[in-house]
Amino acid sequence: MTTPLQSTATSPIHLAADSAVGDARFGKPADGWRRALFSVIFESESRLGRLFDLILIAVIVTSVAVVILDSVQAIHLRAGHVFGVLEWVFTGLFTLEYIGRLACVKRPLRYATSFYGVIDLLALLPTFLVALAPEFAYLIDVRILRLLRVFRIFKLSRYSAEYRALVSAVAASRRKITVFVGFVMLVVLVMGTLMYVVEGPVHGFTSIPVAIYWAISTMATVGFGDLVPKTDLGRAIASVMMLLGWGVLAVPTGIVTAEMARRGPDDDVVPMAGRGILAMTPPPAMPPRRLTPAARRRALAQHRRGGR
């Protein structure tokens, strides 16, 4: 999908094909007004499709800005009524978009239960809940429902090629990241238990979960300071945890970066040079070079002399 947020280094044809394949699972109508509407909403190859994307991106960013500004009490007291009107305008636009997406696909239930379908529903549901069921104010703070509208920002990911490339790299590295997270949890559990034994409740480490919390904050190099080891052995363990935290923070970044470099700018797998044992594999065969007439004559003369 070619969008304003797309990088110039990414092929528009490649992204349009990827988007078409991804949206095809919802069912593209064969003809009629539904096919025309599908081309405008889900595709960006036409002028109307690009204009629809631009308008929708502007509405999403503006609606999220309204939610953020409305959360400031001083601004809310002065312009709360204006934000209320704008919110209903945004909700109406997102409702029309949601109905249009459901109407122009063959499998509306599949779209409604997809990631973007759920995000589209969360973008408009809080306003209707507060308006249709005021009793929710007695069960839950209305501002919580209003702040749920910030989920609209996730709708922008549909139009960002770089976001899709990052998600693909993280998804391809999920097994390595899972193993790494398991290792970190193991280290945190062991170190937290050790600190509980060394420091004890006297110095604030009242239980193993509390000590694990300290280990997590220390390994993440946050160090809130609410729990501080007092003994020399505890400080030595804390020093090891701090130094280990620097290396731990770099591992996920290296995994995802290596995967993105392997995939290349167009999300295609790029062959990498082998290392270690892999470097012992024979290189691919090179195509034979064409000999010039002079080189062919010299080779023939050497062959004749060798035959004698």
Query: 10 Å Cβ neighbour count for 165?
Result: 19
Q: What is the dihedral of CA 35, 41, 46, 50, to 10 degrees?
A: 180
Confidence at residue 193, expressed as pLDDT on a 0 to 100 scale: 92
Please tell me what DSSP assigns to residue 30.
Answer: S
Percent of the chain residues topping a pLDDT of 90: 9
pLDDT band of residue 6 (cuts 50, 70, 90) is very low
Q: How confident is the model at residue 80 (pLDDT cuts 50, 70, 90)?
A: confident
Highest mean pLDDT among 104-108, 170-174, 254-258: 104-108
C-alpha distances (whole Å) from 144 to each of 61, 67, 116 are 20, 11, 21
Report the C-alpha gap between 214 and 238 in whole angstroms: 9
Q: What is the pLDDT of residue 96?
A: 92
The whole-angstrom separation of Cα 282 and Cα 117 is: 50
Task: Please give the single-letter amino acid code of residue 204.
Answer: G
pTM for this model (two decimals):
0.55
DSSP type of residue 270: P
Write b or e for each residue in 174-202: b if 16 or more Cβ atoms lie within 10 A of its Cβ, otherwise e. Answer: eebbeeeeeebeebbeebbeebbebbeee
Q: What angle, 0 to 180 degrees and rounded to 10, lies between the N-to-C axes of helices 232-263 and 208-219?
A: 50
The residue assigned the tokens 């997590």 is 216
**Residue that wins the pLDDT comparison between 128 and 149:** 128
**Range name among 39-48, 226-235, 287-296 with the lowest pLDDT average:** 287-296
The pLDDT value recorded for residue 19 is 47
Phi, psi for residue 220 in degrees, rounded to 5: -80, 5
Mean pLDDT estimate for the chain: 75
Between 283 and 85, the more confident residue is 85
pLDDT tens sequence across 148-168? 556 656 666 666 677 777 777
Three-class secondary structure of residue 153 per DSSP:
helix
Instruction: Summarize the confidence of residues 96-108 as an average pLDDT.
Output: 90
Percent residues over pLDDT 70 in the chain = 70
Asked if residue 199 lies in contact with residue 229, where contact means CB atoms within 8 angstroms, the answer is yes
Mean pLDDT in residue range 203-213: 90
Query: What are the pLDDT digits (tens) for 172-196?
Result: 888 888 888 888 899 899 999 999 9
> Residue 135 — very low, low, confident or very high, per pLDDT cuts 50/70/90?
low
CA-atom Rg of the chain in angstroms = 30
150 HSE (CA, 13 A, CB side): 11
Of residues 97, 96, 71, the one with CA closest to residue 155: 97
Q: Please say whether the beta carbons of 28 and 35 come within 8 A.
A: yes
